[in-house]
Amino acid sequence: MTAASDSYAEKDSFKIERIINSPQNYASQKANSAPQRVLLKQGFTPQSVITRNTRGLDPRRRTQILDDLHEAGLIGSTEKNDQIVYFPHAPK
C-alpha cells in the first residue's frame, strides 16, 4: 500500500466509525423503515444503513473495515429484529 491508499483507507474507516458513533444523525433521513428508525434512536446502526451511506466503497473493503474496528474494540455488533446492528463501545 502507498501513502495515498493509506489515507483513503483511513478516511473510509473514519466515515464508518462516524456513522456507528452517531446513529441518531441518520434516523430521520437514512432509515427506510420504522424498525430501522427505532434501532437508530436506541443507538444501534443497522448494517443496511452503513451500506447505504458507504455505497461507493467496495463491499469487501467495508467488511474488512468493520472487522478491523470490531477487533480493535471500537465497535460491537449484535442481532436485533433479525438485522445485524453495530454500536459504539464506551471508551475505557
Class of the domain covering 3-88: mainly alpha
pLDDT at 90: 62
| Segment 42-59, tens digit of pLDDT | 999 999 999 989 999 999
Strands (E) located in the chain: 45-46, 75-80, 83-88
CA dist 56 and 52 (Å) reads 9
> Distance between alpha carbon 50 and the CA centroid of its chain, in Å?
5
Could you tell me the pLDDT band of residue 20, with boundaries at 50, 70 and 90? very high
pLDDT at 6: 64
Residue that the C-alpha cell 448494517 belongs to: 47
CA dist 75 and 66 (Å) reads 8
Residue ranges of the domains in the chain? 3-88
Could you tell me the pLDDT band of residue 28, with boundaries at 50, 70 and 90? confident
Q: pTM for the full model?
A: 0.84
Q: What is the number of helices (H) and of strands (E) in the chain?
A: 4, 3
Residue 1 has pLDDT above 70, yes or no: no
